[in-house]
């Protein structure tokens, strides 16, 4: 690894690449001038762009990649694109040149390539996608958001550990609380698997931070800092919440255009409304993280602009600069020691965390 902390950036992924990528880099480079960036993509397009963005130019080194993985390409096809910008950026992490990678390109390809090339973190069975969102009580992190459509007890416990570490290291919380997403029907709550995961979390070293089951309401209420769920439910919940916020944004726009006095009212309330809009701005929450890999992997929305991409870069930089993976190692070791000494069940095959199950 080079001396300075380095992020590999897929300059060709996303709807507005490479312009929005380099413009976002310009913003992020100002925030963290100590970071170095490996900007991977079509050199003939990137070099002139860097001429226009001087801070990005100072912090970044261009690495040419002749190919781009398309948004519609299947992960299996993407795997064969060895000269694609995303692949070369991921290779830089696997080779130790960069501590992390960020892409606004094809999500499935990024997840698959990262898993195969960068590989899963020791002690983790399956990586998870996580994202931060707004709530009444501050930022909330939810995982998994779709990396694993079905999950077992071990996966859910690993998600809790990874989410707890993320909330401490990136959100800066001292003892983040954790909730396990369940349904609230009085008659039948969740399944056997959720009950078992809850029992194990209660007894684990993060037990004091575990608040038991939470419901859909609790996500926006911010009842816990970390929301743990399987990838199917998490994906639906994330998109349902985003859809509801989008609906209200559209309706508010209509409200304030509906009459002259409403327009005037908007002007009067504008500073406060702008703060609200900013607070709910999807760009402020851009950057889904793939946790559980041997390196930092961040996925930006493909449709975001420079500001949004800069935010995703912030997330990646925070993880690298605050030593996310070292904290993960410590968090997992703590769980492992618990399973070794607490020993409520025998190890099922030598996998560190599996011993806790």
Question: Per CB under 8 A, which of residues 197..216 are in contact with a second copy?
Answer: 215-216
Which of 277, 327, 332, 322 has its CA nearest to residue 32? Answer: 322
Q: Is 253 among the residues that bind a second copy (CB under 8 A)?
A: no
Could you say which of 250, 278, 303, 333 contacts a second copy (CB under 8 A)? 250
Cβ–Cβ under 8 Å, residues 136 and 336 = no
End-to-end Cα distance, the chain: 36
Euclidean distance between CA atoms 117 and 243, whole angstroms: 34
Map residues 16-55 to x or -, x wherever contact with a second copy holds by CB under 8 A. Answer: ----------------------------------------
Q: Is 246 among the residues that bind a second copy (CB under 8 A)?
A: yes
The CA–CA distances, whole Å, from 279 to 132, 134, 138, 235, 275 equal 13, 8, 10, 22, 6
| Two tokens, residue 65 | 């990649």
Q: Is 241 among the residues that bind a second copy (CB under 8 A)?
A: yes
Could you say which of 240, 326, 334, 344 contacts a second copy (CB under 8 A)? 240
| Two tokens, residue 209 | 């931070």
Give the range of 1-9, 22-30, 235-243, 340-348 binding a second copy by CB under 8 A: 235-243
Euclidean distance between CA atoms 256 and 265, whole angstroms: 8
Could you say which of 93, 130, 147, 357 contacts a second copy (CB under 8 A)? 147
Shortest approach of a second copy to residue 215 CB, angstroms? 5
Could you say which of 155, 229, 304, 325 contacts a second copy (CB under 8 A)? 229
Euclidean distance between CA atoms 99 and 323, whole angstroms: 10
Q: Is 187 among the residues that bind a second copy (CB under 8 A)?
A: yes
Give the range of 29-37, 169-177, 184-192, 316-324 binding a second copy by CB under 8 A: 184-192
Q: Is 233 among the residues that bind a second copy (CB under 8 A)?
A: yes
Largest CA distance in the chain: 71
Could you say which of 50, 162, 197, 238 contacts a second copy (CB under 8 A)? 238
Map residues 103-142 to x or -, x wherever contact with a second copy holds by CB under 8 A. Answer: ---xxxx-xx----------------x----xxx------
Could you say which of 4, 175, 262, 330 contacts a second copy (CB under 8 A)? 262
Q: Is 293 among the residues that bind a second copy (CB under 8 A)?
A: no
Euclidean distance between CA atoms 112 and 181, whole angstroms: 26
Catalogue the E-assigned strands of the chain: 6-10, 36-41, 60-64, 100-103, 128-133, 140-143, 178-181, 210-214, 226-228, 288-291, 296-299
Choice between 174 and 254, CB closer to a second copy: 254
- Spatial strand order in the sheet of 210-214: 60-64, 36-41, 6-10, 100-103, 296-299, 288-291, 128-133, 140-143, 226-228, 178-181, 210-214
Q: Spell out the residues 6+ positions from residue 313 whose beta carbon is closer than 8 angstroms to its own.
A: 7, 9, 24, 25, 27, 28, 102, 287, 298
Shortest approach of a second copy to residue 75 CB, angstroms? 5
Could you say which of 44, 80, 188, 346 contacts a second copy (CB under 8 A)? 188
The number of residues that bind a second copy (CB under 8 A) is: 75
Q: Spell out the residues 6+ positions from residue 32 whose beta carbon is closer than 8 angstroms to its own.
A: 317, 321
Shortest approach of a second copy to residue 254 CB, angstroms? 8
Give the range of 27-35, 39-47, 117-125, 228-236 binding a second copy by CB under 8 A: 228-236
Could you say which of 19, 139, 242, 281 contacts a second copy (CB under 8 A)? 242
Euclidean distance between CA atoms 151 and 230, whole angstroms: 6
Could you say which of 120, 232, 323, 329 contacts a second copy (CB under 8 A)? 232
Choice between 204 and 229, CB closer to a second copy: 229
């Amino acid at each position: 690894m080079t001396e300075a902390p380095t992020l590999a950036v897929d300059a060709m992924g996303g709807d507005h690449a490479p312009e929005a990528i380099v413009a976002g880099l310009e913003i992020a480079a100002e925030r963290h001038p100590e970071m170095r960036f490996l900007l991977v993509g079509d050199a003939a397009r990137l070099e002139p762009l860097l001429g226009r963005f001087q801070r990005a130019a100072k912090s970044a080194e261009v690495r040419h990649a002749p190919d781009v993985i398309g948004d519609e390409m299947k992960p299996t096809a993407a795997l064969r694109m060895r000269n694609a910008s995303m692949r070369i950026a991921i290779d830089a992490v696997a080779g130790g040149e960069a501590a992390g990678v960020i892409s606004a390109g094809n999500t499935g390809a990024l997840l698959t390539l990262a898993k195969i090339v960068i590989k899963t973190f020791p002690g983790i069975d399956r990586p998870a996608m996580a994202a931060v969102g707004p709530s009444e009580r501050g930022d909330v992190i939810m995982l998994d958001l779709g990396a694993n459509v079905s999950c077992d007890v071990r996966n859910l416990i690993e998600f809790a550990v990874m989410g707890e570490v993320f909330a401490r290291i990136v959100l800066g919380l001292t003892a983040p609380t954790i909730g396990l997403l369940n349904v609230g029907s009085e008659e039948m709550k969740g399944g056997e698997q959720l009950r078992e995961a809850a029992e194990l979390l209660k007894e684990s070293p993060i037990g004091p931070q575990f608040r038991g089951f939470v419901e859909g309401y609790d996500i926006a209420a911010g009842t816990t800092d970390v929301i743990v769920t399987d990838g199917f439910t998490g994906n639906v919940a994330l998109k349902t919440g985003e859809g509801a916020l989008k609906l209200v944004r559209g309706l508010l726009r209509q409200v304030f255009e509906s009459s002259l006095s409403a327009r005037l009212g908007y002007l009067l309330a504008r500073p406060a409304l702008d703060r609200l809009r900013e607070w709910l701005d999807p760009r402020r929450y851009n950057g889904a993280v793939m946790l559980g890999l041997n390196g930092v992997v961040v996925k930006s929305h493909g449709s975001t602009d420079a500001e949004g991409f800069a935010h995703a870069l912030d997330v990646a930089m925070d993880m690298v600069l605050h030593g996310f993976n070292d904290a993960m190692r410590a968090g997992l070791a703590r769980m492992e020691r618990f399973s070794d000494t607490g020993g409520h069940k025998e190890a099922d095959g030598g996998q560190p965390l599996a011993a806790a199950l």
